[in-house]
């Protein structure tokens, strides 16, 4: 049985399946360890905010088009962004000047792997969509 630098047990050829030190025990141990890890650098690789890739897409005020009672823009996102959901997307206002930097609660719908529709009620507002 081999033990990795973070304490996980890796069965090797010839290890018994059952009994003390068997690979069933190792798999059970690894599952518990995975369930309890917290990326603190001791029980798993340490993660920092720099490990999370971030991209931004500009949403200019001039590009809003009427959509029912509000406005819509279809945006192209970077292909490297694997998920676009409520957790991975933030919107920040860039215009008008009095609102710059404020967190905006815009709704959006993912159309394809690289396009989203973003909806707004004010066609004079501009935003940046930050994807992480």
For the cut 90, the answer to whether the pLDDT of residue 92 exceeds it is yes
Q: pTM for the complete prediction?
A: 0.59
Percent over 70 (pLDDT), the chain: 90
Q: Is there a single domain that holds both residue 61 and residue 8?
A: no
Q: The CATH number of the domain where 63 resides is what?
A: 2.40.30
Within a 10 A sphere around the Cβ of 129, how many other Cβ atoms? 22
pLDDT digits (tens, 9 = 90+) for 57-82: 999 999 999 999 999 999 998 876 76
CA dihedral 129, 112, 110, 84 (to 10 degrees): -60
Structurally, how many domains does the chain consist of? 2
Q: Is there a single domain that holds both residue 58 and residue 32?
A: no
Over range 88-104, report the average pLDDT. 88
Q: Is there a single domain that holds both residue 57 and residue 122?
A: yes
């Amino acid at each position: 049985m081999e033990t990795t630098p973070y304490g996980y047990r890796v069965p090797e050829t010839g290890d018994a399946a059952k009994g003390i030190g068997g690979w069933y025990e190792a798999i059970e141990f690894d599952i518990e360890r995975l369930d309890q890890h917290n990326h603190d650098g001791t029980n798993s690789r340490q993660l920092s905010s720099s490990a999370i890739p971030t991209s931004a897409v500009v949403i200019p005020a001039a590009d809003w088009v009427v959509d029912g009672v509000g406005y819509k823009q279809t945006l192209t996102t970077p292909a490297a962004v694997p998920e676009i959901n409520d957790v991975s997307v933030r919107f920040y206002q860039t215009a008008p000047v009095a609102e710059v930097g404020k967190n905006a609660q815009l709704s959006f719908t993912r159309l394809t792997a690289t396009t989203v529709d973003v909806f707004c009620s004010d066609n004079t507002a501009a935003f940046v969509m930050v994807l992480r």
